[in-house]
């Protein structure tokens, strides 16, 4: 079994959420409660950061659009309001991904991690056959010919 940790922010956040919600069902893995609590604190802070970042990014876009309409003319409507956010969660020591990877390795070393449990926890690597098929489907279709000057030409269509 090959374990997998998502590398994108949203993907990792979702994967850790799934892991934290389901791991209490698998006490046979013997995972350290302190490590799980620390990972939960990291997850909470990261969720807050992602949500707050999205709210302020949306606000920034609205302010920019409002500024453009104000300058060039048009229906202004209401001035965008600054988003309100929840209270900031307590800071953590950081290293959320490393902590998550350590917990996965603890589960593997326990000897009680089965393929079914790993799949339920969302830590199984994606199937290689599907990714290799998508790579093959992505191969470009092109023709080679020579120009009148004897130089090679690559002829291909972008898209359809």
> Tens digit of pLDDT for each residue in 58-85?
999 999 999 999 999 888 889 999 999 9
Residue 158 binned pLDDT confidence (cut-offs 50, 70, 90)? confident
- Torsion on CA atoms 24, 26, 28, 30, rounded to nearest 10: -40
Residues 120-156: b if buried by 16+ CB within 10 A, e if exposed: bbbbbeeeeeeeeeeeeeeeeeeeeeeeeeeeeeeee
Residue 87 to residue 52: CA distance in whole angstroms: 10
pLDDT confidence of 141, banded at 50, 70, 90? confident
23-46 pLDDT per residue, tens: 999 999 999 999 999 999 999 999
CB neighbour list of residue 156: distance below 8 Å, 6 or more residues apart: 140, 141, 142, 143
């Amino acid at each position: 079994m090959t374990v997998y940790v998502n590398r994108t922010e949203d993907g990792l956040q979702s994967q850790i959420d799934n892991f934290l919600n389901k791991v209490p069902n698998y006490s046979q893995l013997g995972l350290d409660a302190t490590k799980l609590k620390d990972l939960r604190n990291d997850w909470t802070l990261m969720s807050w950061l992602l949500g707050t970042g999205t709210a302020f990014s949306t606000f920034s876009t609205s302010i920019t659009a409002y500024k453009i309409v104000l300058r060039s003319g048009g229906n202004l409507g209401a001035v965008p309001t600054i988003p309100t956010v929840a209270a900031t969660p307590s800071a953590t020591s950081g290293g959320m991904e490393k902590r998550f990877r350590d917990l996965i390795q603890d589960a593997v070393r326990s000897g009680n991690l089965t393929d079914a449990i790993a799949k339920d926890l969302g830590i199984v690597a994606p199937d290689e056959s599907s990714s290799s098929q998508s790579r093959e489907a992505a191969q470009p279709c092109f023709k080679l010919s020579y120009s009148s000057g004897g130089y090679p030409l690559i002829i291909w269509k972008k898209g359809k």
